Amino acid sequence: MKKILPLVLVILLTGTSFQISKNSRTSSSESEKSFYKALSLSALQKQMKSCRETGKISKEVIELGGINDIRGFLIDDKNKDIIIIGNGKKGFPPIYTEDFIVAIRNVYLKYAKKKKNTIYYSNPGCSIDPNPKSTKKLIKVSEKLPKAKTHREKQKIFKKWEQICDHPQNVRVLGIPFNSNFAKVLVKADYDLKNIVNGNDLLNISEIKSLSEMNFSIMKKALENEEDIPVSFSQNRFWFCSGENTYLEESGLIVINNCKTILLTENEYSSNKGASDDNLAKHFANSISNNFNKLSNNRMIYKDLNNLYHLVTLAKIFKDYNSENFNIQNFFSYFLNDYKETGIPVNKKLPGKSAFREFEKTFKKENGTLTRQIWMPSCGGVDINIKPVKQNSKDGNSNNSLLAKYAPEVKQGILKSKPKEETLVWEYSISKYLDFLLKTN
C-alpha cells in the first residue's frame, strides 16, 4: 500500500520565466496566476505545543496547514526553519500532521526496539495474514472437489470453502504505533485490495481487471471452445511498495520529482528470482502500478496511502540532509520528544475476503451440461521501504540544470511572500498558463 513544489516544477520542465507574488491577490494579472501553499514547520511545532496547553486546536494545525499535495520543502537557514511546499487541492483527502509526526519518529528510530547493543528498525508497514490452520483446512477442502460428482456436492464444498475463508485474519503493523491513523490507512488500503483482487469491488477502470475476472475470461473462452478445464484454485499475495523515488536539491530547495506507489507479487517483493510467478497475478500487479493515479482518484484510500509515502520520503530526506546552520534533528525536538500521539483504534483481526464465480456452458453433446468453478482467496500487505535517490542538479539534464539556475530566486520568492515571522501557512503564486506542467509522478 501512490509531489512537488509546483513552482519549482515549472522551472524543471520549461525555461519560461515567472514571477512570485508577495501574498497579494489584487493585482491586475490575478486571473493569470495560480496559488499554492507554504507551511512553516517551526510555527507548526509552536502552535501545536500551544494548542495542547490550551486544549484548542485549529484545522490548519491538524491538517498540515491545508496542504494535501506535497511537492517538496526548502531550508530557511536564516530563521532556522523548514518550509513545506505544495498545495491544497479540492476533493483530495487531508494530510494529517500526526501522520507526519509518526513518519518522522519512525525515520529517527523512535519506534525502534533496542535489545542489548542492537537496534531493530522496521519500515512502516502492515500485513493481514490468514491463520495457518485455516490455510491447511482450505487445502483439504480443495482436495475434495475433484471427487465431487454432482453440482450439489460441489456447492457444499464451496460453501465450506467460503466459511473457512471468512475466518478472522491477523493484522500486523510494523515500525509505527498499532493504534494510529497512519496504521489505519495502511490496513484499510491492504484490506480493500482484497476486494479488488477478487472482483467484489468494481472499479470501472478499463485498464484494471480483477484477478478473478482475468481467470474467468480465460475459462469462458476455453469453455466456448469446448475445452475441458479442471477446477483451479489460486492464492496470491500482493504488496504495496515504493516505486521510483527521486528528488532534486539545490541551494536548500528540495523538489520531490518522483514518489510512486506500486504493487508487487510475493515473489517480486521477496526478490525470489528462482520462484515462478503466476502470469496473471503479475499482470494484475502491473496494472495497479501503471494506473495507480486512476485508482487513487477512484478510491481515495489509495491517495491517502500515497500521501504516507510522501511523508516518509520527506522524513528520510530530512534525516539525510546536512545543514551548516542548524541541526535538523534538534529542530524537530517537539515532534520527536514532546508531542503526545492520539490513539486511533485499529482492528487486530479482520474477517477474510472471498469471492466465488460459477459458470455454466451447455453443449449439444451427450455430456449435456458442462460446469466449471473457480475460487480465489487472497492475502497481502503494505511496506513503506523508501530510499529516496538524490539526482544531480548539474548533470546536464535540462530540468535539473534549470533548477540549479533558478533555485535561489524561487527560494527567496517564497520566503519574501511570508507575511509575518510567526505565520503558519501562506500562499505564493505562479503564472496560470503553466499549470499543465505542474504534474509530478
User: What's the whole-number average pLDDT of the chain?
Assistant: 80
Cell of 78: 536564516
Residue 266 lies inside a defined structural domain of this protein: no
Quote the longest CA-to-CA distance of the chain. 88
394 and 320 housed in the same domain:
yes
Write the pLDDT tens digit of every residue in 271-315. 755 555 678 889 999 999 999 999 999 999 999 999 999 999 999
For residue 186, what are the domain limits? 125-236+344-382
Residue 265 lies inside a defined structural domain of this protein: no
Q: What is the pLDDT of residue 385?
A: 76
Closest CA to 81 of 313, 393, 310, 318: 318
Q: Identify the residue whose cell numbers are 484494471.
A: 208
Work out how many domains the chain is built from and give that number. 2
The pLDDT of residue 144 is above 90: no
pLDDT tier for residue 191 given thresholds of 50, 70 and 90: very high
> What is the value of pTM for the model shown?
0.84
Residue 1 lies inside a defined structural domain of this protein: no
397 and 296 housed in the same domain:
yes
The pLDDT of residue 140 is above 80: yes
CA 238/CA 253 separation, integer angstroms: 36
pLDDT above 70: percentage of residues in the chain: 77
Range among 10-24, 156-170, 254-268, 305-319 rated most confident: 305-319
Write the pLDDT tens digit of every residue in 208-224. 998 888 877 877 777 67
Residue 264 lies inside a defined structural domain of this protein: no
* DSSP codes, 197-236: HHT-S----TT---HHHHHHHHHHHHHHTT-----EE--E
174 and 42 housed in the same domain:
no
82 and 143 housed in the same domain:
no
Residue 62's SS3 state is helix
365 and 230 housed in the same domain:
yes
Q: Identify the residue whose cell numbers are 487445502.
A: 139
Q: Comparing 26-40, 151-165, 425-439, which segment has the lowest mean pLDDT?
A: 425-439
332 and 365 housed in the same domain:
no
- CB 7 within 8 Å of CB 400: no
CA 131/CA 271 separation, integer angstroms: 24
The pLDDT of residue 263 is above 60: yes
44 and 169 housed in the same domain:
no
